[in-house]
Structure 1
Amino acid sequence: MLSFVAKNLNDIIYLVLLLSSVAIGPYYRSLSTIVLKKWTGSLLGIVLILIVSGYNAVHPLLSAVVGILAIKLATVKYCHIVSFFFMFGYLFFFRLANKFGLPLPSGQTNLIEMILVLRIVGVAFEINGSWLAMKSGKEKGNEIGTSKYIKEKDDEFLELINPSLIDLFHYSFNYVGLLTGPYYRYRTFDDYFHLPYSKYVDCMGFTINTLKTVPLYISLYLALSNLWPLEYILSEDHNNRSFIYRMLYPWALFTTFRQRIYSGMTLAESVCTSAGVGAYPVQGQNRTGHGPTVGYLKMKKMTEDEAKFAQYDFNTVESMDVWGCETVVTLRDSMKVWNKAVQYWVAMVVYKRFPIKFLKIHAALFVSVIWHGIHAGYFFCIYFCPFYVMAEDIYYKLYYKPATGLKKNIIGFIMWFLRSHSESYQSAAFLLLTFDRIWIYYSSVYHYWYGVWLSFLILGLILNKLHKISRPKRLQAEEENKLEAKNK
């Protein structure tokens, strides 16, 4: 027992802090004034940083304060660029601290630093994006931000976002979502204090419903990590096993890893639901990270009575669609339901705003890689996805999409198996991290999946070409058959 606690001490402390954050939620939600609530949330966040990081807390505290100052000192036209390069530059320095004679911070401190990067860079892009939207609206003569400007489908920005220095401080350090996420916009944070939704949503009901699966995830993680430990994949004993065993071992590793992520993300969501952060009426068609996508300005004018009887959800702070992660057929869909809040951030900050169209996806993937870390494993895992998706899309359009009934189920199972196997193979690199460790495992299975993927892609391109050639003939035959039937 003592050896188990010593081995997993950091994880146990992190789990206790997350559960404590969930327990604090109802008391935090009941605080009487906005000012008191903001300062309490920030002080709790700073206390969490100090407990998790110790003297290494200087990194998240310093980087966040300088990042906030950079936003306010830079012009609104360039604040997003300044904050992006500063925060990611500091993230590099932070992770290479031992190269500068400083102690290397813990993995838990790294997670906090990653969240702060999302928040500070994200709010800078909100400030700049809303400014551009207001400027464009004025040029077009639109009344964006007024009561007359209420559309059926909202634009990305409807109002000018320009938080004060102290509000940026509170947004950055608020304890809700600080340890593991999820990421939520500054708009969501501001709405929490000024709109009545958190007073009337069933926070306890949502929290209990979210938490009920956590014991299962933790139990599975502990059991699987003991049965199939990561380090065994590098051992001589593993290399002496059959090829099928070596090929399938990453399935066990990725299954174990998923339970760890599910438990952490679900607890993080519970911190939000317990405090009431991210609650919006369902008619807003709320999306992870973004919040309401329909009728936001109209919702803001809700009376207390309307808010009291509204139906709510916490989709805005949903990080993981666990059922989707386990069951979706394609890797493309799997990426959409995995860590949804971060996916939203990458799309909003990088993909949509990158100026060179054909490099958008590469820019998004590169930023995702460097946000996760500087190890080769992140590159091998994340950058491989689009190449598999290229092949997958061909088979999806040719065979899965037009299929029906049993045939669709069989093809779907095959695609699900291949998708799951590809993710497992990639996850081995993600978990092993360094190039030498990755090379040991991939060499033990002869780098087979790259060969399989390339063969699938080449075969798919050939089949797609043949399909395009044969399609006009099929259409002509169908038209002739219809004509004959009509003449009869």
Structure 2
Amino acid sequence: MNMLSFLTKNRNDIIYLSLLLFSVGIGPRYRALKTVQAKKWVGTIVGLVLILIVSGYSAIHPILSAVLGIVAIKVATVRYCHIVAFFLMFGYLFFFRLADKFGLPLSSGQTNLIEMIIVLRVVGVAFEMNGSWLAVGKAKKDENKEQKEVKTKDDDFLEIINPSTEDLFHYSFNYIGLLTGPYYRYRTFDDYFHLPYSKYVDCFGFTINTLRMVPLYISLYLAFSNIWPLEYVLSEDHNNRNFLYRMLYPWALFAAFRQRIYSGMTLAESVCTSAGLGAYPVQGRNRTGHGPTVGYLKLKQMSEEEAKTTQYDFNTVESMEVWGCETVVTLRDSMKVWNKAVQYWVAMVVYKRFPIKPLKIHAALFVSVIWHGFHAGYFFCIYFCPFYLMAEDIYYKLYYKDATGQKKKIIGFIMWFLRSHSESYQAAAFLLLTFDRIWIYYSSVYHYWYGVWLAFLILGLVLNQLHRSKRPSKLKTDGDENKEEIVSN
């Protein structure tokens, strides 16, 4: 009876997990398809079938939003297609999540995940098209001025990216990465069909290596979520526990959440490695989301013989550095290894392209929040990060950066503990979602972490000021000593 209850309660998650495993399993057969057109159409048809199985009647939302986005990209000129696509796709995302206000049923969380990926793809390709147009125009101007050294660091954008309507359709609905990511650029998608890498990379080896930890992640998730359930923090029994227990309970909640994310992201990466999408030669110094960062055009010209013997990686589709998530010392570094593909999208689409420099970080955070959803928990969680970073950066520079030996290890452990505790406290809001639920838990611990953070920040500012006031006299002394040394020589 308990097993039946468990299966019923987690029916949607089990179906979703099964579809992810199915997507991993069909990778070798998909990769073996002979023609580019066959691959594109089979990938798209499988993607559409997955959407229908997951979403049922709600499948209309991801399909309609993608079609509208593609039409908007093609109707708007390359100068404005990225802006039009951005506002259209996020506008539809608002409508999708507020469907009940319009008398329509709300979709499942799994359909929401698919819609989120569709938004990333359609908006991302529009920015790629506009970015390539701008970069090529800039390169031509530089050549006219005989300043060829001013070219972009990576010569990847020295070709126009302008996919046909059909290719935009295939990119939007291809099954690889459709269920839960990772995000990859249109350029990566196009390279998959036209470059020989997927034929020669050890897809099976990479997939097995990626999948081997998934059973552990799933087991830990089930254990943590059953021993320390989320709803317990809202109970009277929890409020009667001692303060230390209430304070540390989010560690268990965040641990369970991390295992869930690790398992989902790892399976999603395995879908890519199984099919061979995202494989590039290691000499391209490949980065998550972006792909090769150096010598891209040389890689495109690689012969079949070279492709057979070169070494590959799947860094382009790596979403999580699990060991890094668990061990890095600072929140700043933690953010770099968590959901890297989406962070890349936010950086390229929002942060780097937002016109008002002082507001770049706020624009990036705001878009990240509304992409996740409208719940207060996302604001509490994501918008607290820069405030914690203000304090963390001060202590990092003052005490950790130049420390060595045992001292560095001790300070590193303290910073790791504070970083982990802050993330757990923020994650509680992310998981509880609504303001009233968040307020119940935060009130049970007297909102203490905001007070601790503020005290740390004020103390850090004072210590930093004292450190700066000592520095000039030290520099002056060093300067005098240097003068004396020069004179004596």
User: What's the offset of the Cα at 1:359?
Assistant: 0.4
User: What's the offset of the Cα at 1:242?
Assistant: 0.5
RMSD over aligned Cα atoms: 1.8
- 8 Å Cα contact 1:150/1:298 also seen in 2: no
Q: In the alignment, which residue of structure 1 is the partner of 2:309? A: 309
Q: In the alignment, which residue of structure 2 is the partner of 1:154? A: 154
Aligned pairs (5 A) from 1:188-203: 188-203=188-203
User: What's the offset of the Cα at 1:282?
Assistant: 0.1
- 8 Å Cα contact 1:319/1:341 also seen in 2: yes
C-alpha distance in structure 1 between counterparts of 2:136 and 2:448, whole Å = 53
Aligned pairs (5 A) from 1:316-335: 316-335=316-335
Unaligned runs of 5+ in 1: none
- Of residues 471-480 and 215-224 in structure 1, the stretch that sits farther from structure 2 once superposed is 471-480
- 1:423 is the counterpart of 2:455: no
User: What's the offset of the Cα at 1:136?
Assistant: 1.5
Q: In the alignment, which residue of structure 2 is the partner of 1:81? A: 83
- 8 Å Cα contact 2:142/2:151 also seen in 1: no
Q: Which amino acid aligns with 2:43?
A: G
Match of 1:140 among 142, 146, 154: 142
User: What's the offset of the Cα at 1:135?
Assistant: 1.4
User: What's the offset of the Cα at 1:479?
Assistant: 4.8
User: What's the offset of the Cα at 1:22?
Assistant: 0.2
Aligned pairs (5 A) from 1:239-278: 239-278=239-278
User: What's the offset of the Cα at 1:474?
Assistant: 2.3
Q: In the alignment, which residue of structure 1 is the partner of 2:60? A: 58
Q: Which amino acid aligns with 1:62?
A: L
Unaligned runs of 5+ in 2: none
Say if 1:34 and 1:149 are closer, same or farther in 2 by CA, change over 3 A: farther
User: What secondary structure sits across from 2:157 in the alignment?
Assistant: coil
C-alpha distance in structure 2 between counterparts of 1:465 and 1:439, whole Å = 35
Q: In the alignment, which residue of structure 2 is the partner of 1:3? A: 5
Say if 1:143 and 1:485 are closer, same or farther in 2 by CA, change over 3 A: closer
User: What's the offset of the Cα at 1:475?
Assistant: 2.8
C-alpha distance in structure 2 between counterparts of 1:103 and 1:58, whole Å = 12
- Of residues 478-487 and 30-39 in structure 1, the stretch that sits farther from structure 2 once superposed is 478-487
Say if 1:261 and 1:286 are closer, same or farther in 2 by CA, change over 3 A: same
Q: In the alignment, which residue of structure 2 is the partner of 1:110? A: 112
User: What's the offset of the Cα at 1:472?
Assistant: 1.6
Q: In the alignment, which residue of structure 2 is the partner of 1:349? A: 349
Q: In the alignment, which residue of structure 2 is the partner of 1:33? A: 35
User: What secondary structure sits across from 2:26 in the alignment?
Assistant: helix
C-alpha distance in structure 2 between counterparts of 1:84 and 1:362, whole Å = 17
Match of 1:49 among 39, 48, 51: 51
Q: Which amino acid aligns with 1:96?
A: L
- 8 Å Cα contact 2:155/2:297 also seen in 1: no
Q: In the alignment, which residue of structure 2 is the partner of 1:177? A: 177
Deviations 1:295-349 (A, max 9, x none): 0000100000000000000000000000110011000010010000000000000
Match of 2:15 among 6, 10, 13: 13
User: What's the offset of the Cα at 1:149?
Assistant: 9.9
User: What's the offset of the Cα at 1:99?
Assistant: 1.0
TM-score (normalised: structure 1): 0.97
Task: Give the 4+ runs in structure 1 shifted more than 3 A.
Answer: 148-153, 476-488
- 8 Å Cα contact 1:217/1:260 also seen in 2: yes
- 8 Å Cα contact 1:64/1:120 also seen in 2: yes
User: What's the offset of the Cα at 1:477?
Assistant: 3.8
TM-score (normalised: structure 2): 0.97
How many residue pairs were aligned?
485
Aligned pairs (5 A) from 1:376-391: 376-391=376-391
- 8 Å Cα contact 2:289/2:345 also seen in 1: yes
Q: Which amino acid aligns with 2:36?
A: I
Q: Which amino acid aligns with 1:115?
A: I
Q: In the alignment, which residue of structure 2 is the partner of 1:97? A: 99
Q: Which amino acid aligns with 1:350?
A: V
User: What's the offset of the Cα at 1:483?
Assistant: 7.0
Q: In the alignment, which residue of structure 1 is the partner of 2:300? A: 300
Over the matched positions of the two proteins, sequence identity in percent amounts to 81
C-alpha distance in structure 1 between counterparts of 2:67 and 2:439, whole Å = 40
Say if 1:150 and 1:356 are closer, same or farther in 2 by CA, change over 3 A: closer
Q: Which amino acid aligns with 2:261?
A: I
Match of 2:72 among 70, 73, 80: 70
C-alpha distance in structure 2 between counterparts of 1:301 and 1:81, whole Å = 33
Q: Which amino acid aligns with 1:227?
A: I
Q: In the alignment, which residue of structure 2 is the partner of 1:473? A: 473
Deviations 1:87-106 (A, max 9, x none): 00000110011111111000
